[in-house]
Amino acid sequence: MLRRAVVLGLACASGSFAQKWDEIRVEKLAAGYVYTEGPAWSPDGYLIWSDVPANQIQRWVPGQKPGVARENTAGASGNAYDAKGNLYTCETRGRRVVRIDKKGVVELLADKWEGKRLNAPNDIVVRKDGHSYFTDPAFGNQTAARELDFYGIYHLPPKGPLEIVAKPKGRPNGVALSPNGKILYVTNSDERAVYAYDLDNKGAATRERKLISGIAGAPDGIRADEKGNLYIAATGVAIYSPEGKLVHTIEISETPRNLAFGEPDYQTLFITALSSVYRVRLDVKGAVQY
């Protein structure tokens, strides 16, 4: 199914876009799922995404039909790959973050903070040097089982214990990195905002600031392209310049939940949206972290 994307806003002071918005098309890649989340493009050339209530991770290899890649995922939501092709997954019902190697061996990375179980890890991103960051909000029924009295943004170093980045008042949700890996972006669904943090070579986060506010709809997943523009799943896919100015909004017939760049040239934006997965070809590449 192809249809024309509609321009809802255009204000790019930085001139970082050469995209002709009236020429892009939104294509439905797959459908019939319960609740899609966590798309991630593997270095080995395929797309995965979570079907959270179904406890499955789906896989799509170009030229083939999607199929189940993993079952019994404990409510897998956000996914990310590292440079070695290991898969990092946030298990919302398992209340933990795991890493799965190419042989399918599951390694526990985090399930507690100071002796208390995490709320419901939601989304994750991995930097080229192995530092990873994930959000730990709680939505719906997840709030009843909370042991922690805060929502967290966490840093997982390649070696060493789990670190806290921030304890925001609203619920953190999507997480992404700038192209050079020196800025961490986190959406806040309650505040309808995006926060930014500077990252040093050791992965430590400093200088918290609110980069974007007043997002239309509750923001969920977020990704950056190679020029530093930000793509946010909210009411449609809202695209912002690196300075936080709204550039454009891509309309989707279902509410977008998360995003990932992929395909061999990394110029396809994949969008998980409730029961379906969509893709949009762009004139810019996504920011590659592996």
Residue with tokens 């040239």: 265
pLDDT digits (tens, 9 = 90+) for 169-225: 999 999 999 999 999 999 999 999 999 999 999 999 999 999 999 999 999 999 999
Is 6's pLDDT higher than 60? no
Domain that holds residue 211: 2-281
What are the φ/ψ torsions at residue 239 (nearest 5 degrees)? -115, 125
**Residue 72, pLDDT score:** 97
Confidence of residue 16 (pLDDT cuts 50, 70, 90): low
Taking residues 249-254, report their average pLDDT.
96
Q: Cβ-count burial of 105 within 10 angstroms (0-12 exposed, 13-18 middle, 19+ buried)? A: exposed
Q: Is residue 173 part of a domain?
A: yes
288 lies in a domain? Answer: no
The answer as to whether 252 is a domain residue is yes
Query: Considering its fold, how many domains does the chain have in total?
Result: 1
Closest CA to 268 of 282, 258, 256: 282
Q: Classify residue 287: in a domain, yes or no.
A: no
Judging by beta carbons within 10 Å of its beta carbon (0-12, 13-18, 19+), is residue 180 exposed, middle or buried? exposed
Q: Report the pLDDT value the prediction gives residue 19, as an integer from 0 to 100.
A: 84
- The CATH number of the domain where 116 resides is what? 2.120.10.30
Across 19-44, average pLDDT: 94
- To the question of pTM greater than 0.75 for the whole model, the response is yes
What confidence tens digit (pLDDT) does each residue in 65-102 have?
Answer: 999 999 999 999 999 999 999 999 999 999 999 999 99
d(CA 235, CA 244): 17
Number of Cα atoms under 13 Å in the Cβ half of residue 97: 28
Task: Answer yes or no: is 289 within a domain.
Answer: no
On whether residue 225 sits in a domain, the answer given is yes
User: Residue 8: is its pLDDT beyond 50?
Assistant: no
- Percent of the chain at pLDDT > 70 equals 94
Contact 284, 278 (CB under 8 A): no
- The residue with greater pLDDT, 160 or 279, is 279
Any domain includes 290: no
Side chain identity, residue 108? L
